[in-house]
């Protein structure tokens, strides 16, 4: 009886619910664990470091992440698509490509870090140079995550992802109890994360059943990287500007406020990771017919979730971040970003079918809107300028996605 009912529901929503429940529950469970670890780490930083020190720590990590924007940042999504089509050599192929295409970012890191060393700023100089090299290795090793997702091994993905953040998190928390020296904390984080992800990458290679390489993978990764470049830059420039115009303490407040919302939004991204391999092998026209109904169903879940998030946020801050109560309102407003999550599911249709022209237009348009708003407002309005720019990005992103998805001729673009 249950199977018959489930079959009727699947037929109505045109979705393999059993696949989503099986894979999604594993991914969501893993993401809950990851979010819990990230929250514990944030609590340790917020309570053991001053706002100024934590803001400086985040500035260095943001600078490193910004520099690595000029690498093959779209490789992960391309690997999922390739592996889901049977090209399991994408794991090693992607690893090699990630290192090669990251050389330029590494050179930039040496130049920026060298500038700080020239200015006799050891913390920023060593932190950026060492951090760029280590983060390039970390992100390249993490190619095992899209590889396992492409093989639909969601349980392994969750387990590996949890260990990938648990070990460095423990290492950093233990270090925080021993010292507040930022360079030591940074080095501990980078080394522990690099070694952990190296081990997980080696373990994941056991699950490759063939060495077939997808000749289109790097081309797709290159297009996805270009599509994402301006968006990634726009998403990181706000923190850099906030540090310089408002100071490290304000950056720390913004990071705490945004990080809580980010962890909740990752739960919905986990569902997208489960869906992407399926979207890659279904026709575009079929998806155009079925996806709008699924988006509406997602909103039935996301709206009460968002309301609950906004209501519970003050209690989270009182318990975990008592020094950051001034950031409660920022966190509540940022919580409204969760309402854009269902529309992002439509973008995976374009990714799964390699519709690069549409992806480029959507990503570029929304990123430019955010970048212009950020540069215009942050120097005058600080955090509120950053928040306004983020919402401008999401509104443009959603509008562009809906526009192209609903166009009848979008499949030929």
pLDDT digits (tens, 9 = 90+) for 276-285: 444 444 566 7
Q: What's residue 261's pLDDT?
A: 82
Residue 3, C-beta contacts closer than 8 angstroms, at least 6 positions apart: none
Task: Dig out the tokens for 301 from the structure.
Answer: 């879940």
Give the residue ranges of the chain where pLDDT is below 50.
Answer: 1-2, 5-10, 12-13, 15-24, 273-281
Residue ranges of domains in the chain: 49-214
Q: What is the predicted pLDDT for the residue at 409?
A: 61
| CB-CB contact of 27 with 15 (8 Å) | no
Q: Please give the distance of CA 294 from its chain centroid, rounded to a whole number.
A: 23
Which pLDDT score is estimated for 19?
Answer: 44
Q: How far is CA 162 from CA 16, 38, 167, 266, 267, in A?
A: 26, 10, 9, 13, 14
What pTM does this model have?
0.83
Q: What does residue 208 show for φ and ψ, rounded to 5 degrees?
A: -85, 115
Separation of alpha carbons 294 and 96, rounded Å? 37
3-state SS track over the chain: CHHHHHHHHHHHHCCCHHHHHHHHHHHHHHHHHHHHHHHHHHHHHHHHCCHHHHHHHHHHHHHHHHHHHHCCCCHHHHHHHHHHCCCCCHHHHHHHHHHHHCHHHHHHHHHHHHHHHHCCCHHHHHHHHHHHHHHHHHHHHCCHHHHHHHCCCHHHHHHHHHHHHHHHHHHHHHHHHHCCCHHHHHHHHHHHHHHHHHHHHHHHHHHCCCCCCCCCHHHHHHHHHHHHHHHHHHHHHHHHHHHHHHCHHHHHHHHHHHHHHHHHHHHHHHHHHHHHHHHCCCCHHHHHHHHHHHHHHHHHHHHHHHHHHHHHHHHHHHHHCHHHHHHHHHHHHHHHHHHHHHHHHHHHHHHHCCCHHHHHHHHHHHHHHHHHHHHHHHHHHCHHHHHHHHHHHHHHHHHHHHHHHHCCCHHHC
At 66 the pLDDT is 95
Q: What is the pLDDT of residues 320-370, one digit of tens each?
A: 999 999 999 999 999 999 998 888 777 777 776 667 788 888 888 888 999
Which pLDDT belongs to residue 32?
76
Residue 400's alpha-carbon distances to 184, 293, 374, in angstroms, are 44, 19, 20
Q: What is the pLDDT of residue 22?
A: 46
């Amino acid at each position: 009886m249950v199977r018959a009912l489930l079959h009727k529901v699947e037929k109505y929503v045109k979705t393999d619910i059993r696949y989503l429940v099986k894979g999604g529950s594993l991914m969501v469970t893993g993401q809950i664990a990851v979010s819990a670890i990230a929250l514990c780490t944030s609590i340790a930083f917020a309570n053991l470091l001053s706002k100024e020190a934590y803001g400086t720590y985040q500035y260095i990590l943001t600078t490193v992440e910004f520099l690595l924007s000029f690498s093959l940042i779209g490789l992960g999504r391309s690997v999922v698509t390739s592996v889901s089509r049977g090209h399991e050599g994408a794991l090693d192929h992607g690893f090699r490509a990630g290192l090669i295409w990251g050389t330029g970012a590494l050179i930039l890191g040496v130049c920026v870090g060298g500038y700080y060393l020239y200015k006799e700023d050891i913390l920023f100089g060593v932190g950026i140079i060492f951090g760029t090299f280590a983060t390039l290795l970390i992100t390249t090793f993490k190619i095992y995550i899209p590889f396992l997702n492409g093989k639909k091994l969601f349980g392994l993905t969750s387990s590996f992802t949890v260990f990938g953040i648990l070990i460095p998190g423990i290492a950093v928390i233990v270090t925080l109890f021993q010292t507040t020296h930022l360079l030591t904390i940074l080095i501990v984080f980078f080394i522990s994360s690099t070694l952990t992800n190296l081990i997980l990458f080696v373990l994941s290679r056991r699950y490759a059943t063939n060495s077939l390489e997808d000749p289109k993978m790097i081309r797709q990764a290159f297009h996805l990287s270009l599509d994402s470049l301006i968006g990634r830059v726009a998403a990181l420039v706000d923190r850099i500007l906030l540090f310089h115009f408002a100071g490290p303490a304000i950056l720390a407040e913004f990071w705490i406020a945004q990080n809580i919302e980010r962890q909740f939004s990752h739960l919905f991204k986990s569902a997208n990771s489960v869906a992407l391999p399926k979207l890659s092998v279904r026709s575009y026209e079929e998806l155009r017919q079925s996806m709008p109904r699924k988006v509406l169903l997602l909103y039935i879940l996301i709206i009460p979730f968002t309301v609950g998030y906004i209501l519970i946020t003050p209690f989270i801050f009182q318990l975990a971040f008592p020094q950051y109560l001034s950031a409660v309102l920022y966190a509540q407003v940022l919580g409204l970003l969760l309402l854009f999550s269902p529309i992002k599911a439509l973008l995976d249709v374009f990714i799964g079918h390699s519709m690069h022209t549409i992806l480029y237009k959507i990503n570029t348009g929304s990123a430019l809107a955010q970048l212009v708003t950020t540069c215009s407002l942050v120097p005058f309005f600080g955090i509120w300028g950053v928040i306004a720019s983020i919402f401008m990005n999401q509104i443009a992103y959603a509008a562009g996605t809906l526009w192209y998805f609903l166009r009848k001729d979008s499949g030929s673009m």
